[in-house]
Amino acid sequence: MMRIALAAVSVLVLAIMPLLAPWLQFVLTLAIAKGFAALGVAVLLRAGLISIGHAMFFAASAYGVAFLARAGINDLALQLIVSVLCAALIGVLAGLFLVRYRAIFFAMLNLAVSMVFYALCAKLYGVTGGTDGMPIPIPSAFGVVLSEPAFKSILFYLSLVLMLLVGFCVHRYLQSPLGQALSAVHTNEIRLEYLGVPVWAVLLIAYVISAALAGLGGAIAGFAIGRVVPEFAFWTASGHLVLVAVLGGIGGVPGAFIGALFLELLHTVAVTVTDAWNLIVGLALIMVIMFMPRGFYGLIARKEGTAL
Partner 1 sequence: MKQPILEAKDLHVAFNGVKAADGVNLKIYDDEFLAVIGPNGSGKTTLLNICTGYIKPRSGSVHLDGHDITRLTPRAIARRGVARAFQIPQLFSDQRVIDNMMLALAARNGLWSATQPLDTPARREEAEALLGLVGLADDRLRISSTLPEGHRKLLDIAIALALKPRLLLLDEPTSGVSALERFPLMEALMGALRQRKITALFVEHDMEVVARYANRVLVWNAGTIMAEGRPDEVFSDAQVLQRVVGVA
Binding site for partner 1 (CB under 8 A): 172-173, 175-181, 183-184, 187-188, 190-198, 202, 205
Question: Taking a C-beta distance cutoff of 8 angstroms, is the pair 62, 228 a contact?
Answer: yes
Nearest to 136 by CA among 150, 120, 154, 148: 148
Least Cβ distance, residue 234 to partner 1 (angstroms): 32
Q: Tell me whether residue 228 or residue 250 sits nearer to partner 1 (CB atom).
A: 250
Q: Tell me whether residue 112 or residue 192 sits nearer to partner 1 (CB atom).
A: 192
CA distances from 190 to 106, 174, 218 (A): 18, 21, 35
Q: Tell me whether residue 140 or residue 183 sits nearer to partner 1 (CB atom).
A: 183
Least Cβ distance, residue 169 to partner 1 (angstroms): 9
Nearest to 245 by CA among 43, 88, 70, 63: 43
Question: Taking a C-beta distance cutoff of 8 angstroms, is the pair 202, 181 a contact?
Answer: yes
Q: Tell me whether residue 139 or residue 179 sits nearer to partner 1 (CB atom).
A: 179
Least Cβ distance, residue 50 to partner 1 (angstroms): 18
Question: Taking a C-beta distance cutoff of 8 angstroms, is the pair 67, 125 a contact?
Answer: no
The H or E element spanning position 134 is strand 134-135
Q: Tell me whether residue 186 or residue 227 sits nearer to partner 1 (CB atom).
A: 186
Question: Taking a C-beta distance cutoff of 8 angstroms, is the pair 120, 212 a contact?
Answer: no
User: How far is Cα 234 from Cα 59, in angstroms, rounded to an integer?
Assistant: 9
Least Cβ distance, residue 254 to partner 1 (angstroms): 18
Least Cβ distance, residue 182 to partner 1 (angstroms): 11
